[in-house]
């Protein structure tokens, strides 16, 4: 069984909400990012979204954009990200999703990235800027190697389109709570419950919500009708300030409280 499926099944049995954390590989160096990622996992992450740095991260706000720039300046590339996954897999069984943009994966080759991602020990890919209609060329090799193509669903996604996307994807549905780019926000979206209820009507996949969660109180509010929350910008900032473990513990306490 794919580790993502296994983790969400275990969370459901335990009556717990999942914590999905995003950190950029190579920010500010591979060694430092690995240390911060290890600290985050040890402090309570359930799923790791490992950011593949890209020169034009169009869906991301300034915090993650700047993290990508630092990682690229340090020479981080996709081969080194896969090597990082291998090192993490030696010590942790947490699901790992490579989070990135189409260009690096296309340049690497879709069959090659699927095979090498599986060999490294990751569990899926989330490709921010790949329209579902153009994703079959990647989804096929991912399926062949037992990996999930994790979907993004926006507040503006029509129900029929959401059903199509979710039917062809796996792992969990990542629901974006706001229109716009990533970044911490002051409050959880008012229409979150309504949108999640609609999604429950078209998919049996676990639903994780993100784009804006920055502390334990927000995590608890966002997770009320979801299976997990995703935290990115706040974790990236915390990693810069060497307080990632404290933030993960606060988020975990909010979800478990």
| Dihedral of alpha carbons 148, 96, 156, 199, sign | positive
Answer yes or no: 241 catalytic.
no
CB neighbourhood size of 204 (10 A): 7
Listed in order, strand segments (DSSP E) in the chain are 18-24, 47-51, 96-100, 124-127, 148-149, 152-153, 173-176, 207-210, 228-231
**Among 27, 49, 116, 227, the one annotated catalytic:** 49
27 secondary structure, DSSP code: S
Residues in the chain: 257
Answer yes or no: 27 catalytic.
no
Q: Are 18 and 7 in contact (CB under 8 A)?
A: yes
| Dihedral of alpha carbons 214, 25, 8, 146, sign | positive
Q: Are 217 and 254 in contact (CB under 8 A)?
A: yes
**Among 10, 32, 42, 60, the one annotated catalytic:** 60
* C-alpha 205: how far from chain center: 15
d(CA 25, CA 52): 6
Active-site positions read: 49, 60
């Amino acid at each position: 069984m794919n580790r993502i499926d296994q983790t969400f099944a275990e969370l459901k049995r335990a009556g717990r909400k999942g914590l999905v954390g995003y950190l950029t590989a190579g920010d500010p160096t591979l060694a430092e990012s690995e240390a911060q990622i290890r600290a985050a996992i040890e402090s309570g992450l359930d799923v790791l979204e490992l950011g593949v740095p890209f020169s034009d991260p169009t869906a991301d706000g300034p915090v993650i954009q700047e993290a990508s720039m630092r990682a690229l300046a340090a020479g981080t590339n996709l081969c080194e990200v896969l090597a990082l996954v291998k090192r993490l897999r030696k010590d942790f069984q947490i699901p790992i999703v490579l989070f990135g943009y189409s260009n690096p994966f296309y340049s690497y080759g879709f069959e090659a990235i699927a095979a090498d991602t599986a060999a490294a020990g990751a569990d899926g890919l989330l490709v921010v800027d790949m329209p579902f209609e153009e994703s079959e060329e990647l989804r096929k090799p991912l399926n062949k190697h037992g990996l999930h193509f994790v979907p993004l669903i926006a507040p503006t996604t029509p129900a029929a389109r959401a059903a199509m996307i979710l039917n062809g994807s796996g792992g969990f549905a990542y629901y974006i709570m706001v229109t716009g780019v990533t970044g911490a926000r002051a409050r959880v979206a008012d229409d979150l419950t309504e949108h999640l209820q609609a999604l429950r009507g078209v998919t049996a996949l676990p639903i994780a919500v993100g784009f804006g969660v920055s502390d334990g109180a927000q995590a608890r509010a966002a997770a009320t009708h979801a299976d997990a929350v995703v935290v990115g910008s706040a974790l990236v900032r915390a990693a810069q300030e060497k307080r990632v473990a404290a933030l993960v513990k606060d988020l975990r306490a909010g979800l478990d409280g």
